[in-house]
Structure 1
Amino acid sequence: MVGVCIKYMHENYGGILQAYATVSYLENQNIEYELIRYTRKKTVTEALKDVPRLFNAVWFNSRYEGIQRKLSLKKHPEYAKNNEVRMKAFAGFKKGAFKDFSDEYIGYAALCEGGKKYSAVITGSDQLWSPAGLPTNYYNLMFVPDDTLKISIASSFGVKEIPWYQKKRTIQYLNRIEYISMRENRGSEIVKELTGRDVPTILDPVFFLSKNEWLERIPNKREINEPYIFAYFLGATQEYRNAVKKLARDKGMKVVALRHMDQYVEEDENFGDFAPYDVSPERFLNLLRNAEYVCTDSFHGTAFSILNEKQFVVFNRYAENSSFSKNSRIDTLCVNFGLESRRYKNGMDLSDVVKDDIDYKAVGEKYKNLKQVTDQYLNTVLKEIRKRV
């Protein structure tokens, strides 16, 4: 039995579809697995472990956004009502997409005991190795016995540098993991700097399924018959929304927007000609598939745009000098696919950015090379897994 440590329960379209792609790939390979369920105990000891996080900019920003979100839900009843509709759409997808679970391990001791049952444990993607999550010792597989095969598939630190006070513990868990692959170029560099190991940068799990395999699992359904721009922003930057509105005027198109994704954004109330909330991950994918243009600050929004050969523009969610920036994910995606020209820079006119279509023949050649490296790594780890099962 293979244990899998990934984020599959949070309400983020890219994250949940990435998790779905991961388990779908394992199913395609006839690997028997289960998603490892872990709940931390609310004890004084566990609380003390979180104290150092107060000095971590990534963790602090995440908690700040979470608090702001809760306050906004109380302050804006209509937003709370619409958010509940969105959560129900997510719940419906999760119920059908994820079915193979472990027992629920409550507390770290129970998790360590449960970890003994697996012949191999896999983790990966979605910033699971962010410095903010280090104290939990979950996604870094520190709970897994030394003699159990440990594998990372397209793991992500989500940051450009590991804080100095975490480097020793980061080295410790990296050295325990037999097979490491990263999702970002900078992530592979960090592993090299800390451990001396050369590890590959591979494709995100959403690319493990081809365009046609995604269509088989989530059939295409077009619900808007006229050309439109799909706007999917996780951040709150008003400039980006203004740029999309201008593009819509220039092109004579409507804007389909997903409002208030990670937080309440006041300007979103008037953003988008069509702004549905009853959007499951399946519907999200189809809104993106059938758009004329996609404008997003999301890593997975960009990844699915590439996978579906869309004309798109990608925006930075964070300022480059931000202490909690996670832009390196999109940096790698655009550089490795030769799509740096689709990055928005302040003051750009989107009509100028999209005036030339993306050459998906050239992108396809880069994809082949990346897929070759990815398949080589996956085939190696699958061979090791099968030896132990």
Structure 2
Amino acid sequence: MNVAILTFQFAHNYGALLQAYALKTYLQNHNMNAEIAPYYPDWARAEYAISPFTKGVPPKRRVRLALQYFKRKKQSRVFSRFIEEELKVNDAISEQKELVTWLDRHDCVICGSDQIWNNNITGDCSAYYAGGCKTRRISYAASLGTLQLTEVQKDNIKANLPYFSEISVREPSSATKIAELIQKEVRVVLDPVFLLKKDEWRELAKPVAVESNYVLVYFLQENEELLNYAKAYAQENNLRIYDIHPTMSKKHSGCRRLNNVGPKEFVWLIQNASCVCTNSFHATAFSVIFEKKLIHIPNGKSPERTISLLNRAGLELKKQGEFPFYDLGKCDSSSLYHEISESKVFIENALRRENNGD
């Protein structure tokens, strides 16, 4: 069976690339010929540009990119290599019409995962709903990325999702909103990174030259309180602090910045950390997978994602002002394991029905 995956495979972002890798690998392990759509629209090229000469980059950002270019070039190559070697994608399609032609060569299209239905990212086009596509469509762990449905989302949902064979999303609130709008069952499943076993992630991980005892800091949203917790924990336990960021963003005092860290290095650094300090969903997800010690305050832009994940892992979020420390090796994750099994059943059954022509 030939399966196309429609997701954000171009983002120089740890979580985006690792979720894409996980879904592709899981399908291939189940005898599917899975490939990721080589769709790289102009808005995305501008958003993830490191060259100041990229089409669509605003003038003020061109100046910043010019100043950062040589610093970011090596790190960018690490991500590009992962996209080419592990995802096997050459980003050649930029127009939706070309995308539809490419998708229609497959038996089924899977939309997801990631915030592919967030029009604040993608604009008002229907490309990430596989709009205009004649082949069968399902979604896996797609995300709206918004607390309330926008008018653009409502229009795209009503125009496209009634024709999907199966629909699943990543957040319970999204499932409720979509189901109410189109009167169709919408399932909640886990992020694709949970489809792979711990040993499969260990095989992908690439070692980094660091001291053996360390706290890993990774912020998608700056949080001084969270950083101070990391410093206090490191001092109390005699640990070094390393920090990473996919776009070489702000360095933190008291931390050693690790450069040229791609998705493989990201997995290894979490696997081998004494403790992970983060407000990133995927860093939290991998901390759960590797049963790490975790210092975590949810990201203010989308707090429900990690709150829900930690609840599934058997943890209650600490109250504001309490030390937000969690030992993921000592919690009852039976609910999470059940949801992992249910997520696998969903995608296997959905594709089996596609294969049988139901």
| TM-score in same-fold range (> 0.5) | yes
Once the two structures are TM-superposed, the CA of residue 224 in structure 1 deviates from its matched residue by 3.3
Q: Deviations over 1:146-176 (max 9, x none)?
A: xx21010111111221024642332222212
Q: Distance in 2 between matches of 1:225 and 1:41?
A: 41
Partner of 1:328: 304
Larger helix proportion of the pair: 1
Once the two structures are TM-superposed, the CA of residue 382 in structure 1 deviates from its matched residue by 2.3
CA RMSD of aligned residues (A): 2.8
After TM superposition, the structure 1 = structure 2 runs for residues 308-319 of structure 1, keeping only pairs within 5 Å, are 308-318=290-300
Q: Distance in 1 between matches of 2:88 and 2:24?
A: 10
Give ranges in structure 1 of 5+ residues lacking alignment. Answer: 43-64, 319-324
Q: Distance in 2 between matches of 1:89 and 1:104?
A: 19
Letter in 1 for 2:346: Y
Q: Distance in 2 between matches of 1:195 and 1:173?
A: 10
275-284 vs 244-253, which moves further: 244-253
Q: Distance in 2 between matches of 1:308 and 1:187?
A: 28
Residue 168 of structure 1 aligns to a residue whose secondary structure is helix
Partner of 2:177: 190
Q: Identical aligned pairs, as a percentage? A: 26
Partner of 1:27: 28
Once the two structures are TM-superposed, the CA of residue 314 in structure 1 deviates from its matched residue by 2.2
Matched, 1:88 2:77: yes
Once the two structures are TM-superposed, the CA of residue 87 in structure 1 deviates from its matched residue by 0.8
Q: Distance in 2 between matches of 1:166 and 1:358?
A: 36
Q: Distance in 2 between matches of 1:253 and 1:118?
A: 51
Partner of 2:287: 305
Give ranges in structure 2 of 5+ residues lacking alignment. Answer: 44-56
Q: Deviations over 1:101-155 (max 9, x none)?
A: 6x9444333333333322211111211111322522111111312xx21010111
Once the two structures are TM-superposed, the CA of residue 70 in structure 1 deviates from its matched residue by 5.1
The structure whose RCO (Cα within 8 Å, separation 6+) is larger is 1
Partner of 1:270: 253
Partner of 1:17: 18
CA contact (8 A) 1:82 1:277 kept: no
Q: 1:357 aligns with which of 311, 327, 340?
A: 327
CA contact (8 A) 2:83 2:89 kept: no
Q: Deviations over 1:200-258 (max 9, x none)?
A: 21111001101012223336x47434321110111123332223222222222110111
Q: Deviations over 1:46-83 (max 9, x none)?
A: xxxxxxxxxxxxxxxxxxx9987655444xx4x54332
Partner of 1:340: 316
| TM-score (norm: length of structure 2) | 0.86
Query: Hey, which bits of structure 1, 4+ residues long, moved more than 4 A?
Result: 39-42, 65-71
Q: Distance in 2 between matches of 1:9 and 1:283?
A: 18
CA contact (8 A) 1:315 1:344 kept: no
Letter in 2 for 1:184: E
CA contact (8 A) 1:230 1:295 kept: yes
